A and B are shown apart, each in its own frame.
Chain A
Amino acid sequence: EDQVTQSPEALRLQEGESSSLNCSYTVSGLRGLFWYRQDPGKGPEFLFTLYSAGEEKEKERLKATLTKKESFLHITAPKPEDSATYLCAVQEGETSGSRLTFGEGTQLTVNP
Chain B
Amino acid sequence: EPEVTQTPSHQVTQMGQEVILRCVPISNHLYFYWYRQILGQKVEFLVSFYNNEISEKSEIFDDQFSVERPDGSNFTLKIRSTKLEDSAMYFCASKGWEKLFFGSGTQLSVL
Contacts and interface: CB of A to CB of B under 8 A. Distances in A.
A112 interface: no
Q: How large is the interface on B (under 10, 10 to 19, 20 to 34, 35 or more residues)?
A: 20 to 34
- Dominant secondary structure at the B interface: strand
Contacts, number: 58
Given A98-B56, A99-B58, A105-B42, A43 B104 contact: yes
Contacts of B100: 34, 46, 49, 100
B45 A101 contact: yes
A96 B102 CA distance: 16
A72 interface: no
Nearest to A6: B42
Interface of B: 4, 6, 30-31, 33, 35, 42-45, 48, 50, 55-56, 58, 89, 91, 95, 97-105, 107
5 tightest A-B CB contacts, nearest first:
A97-B31, A43-B102, A99-B45, A102-B43, A44-B102
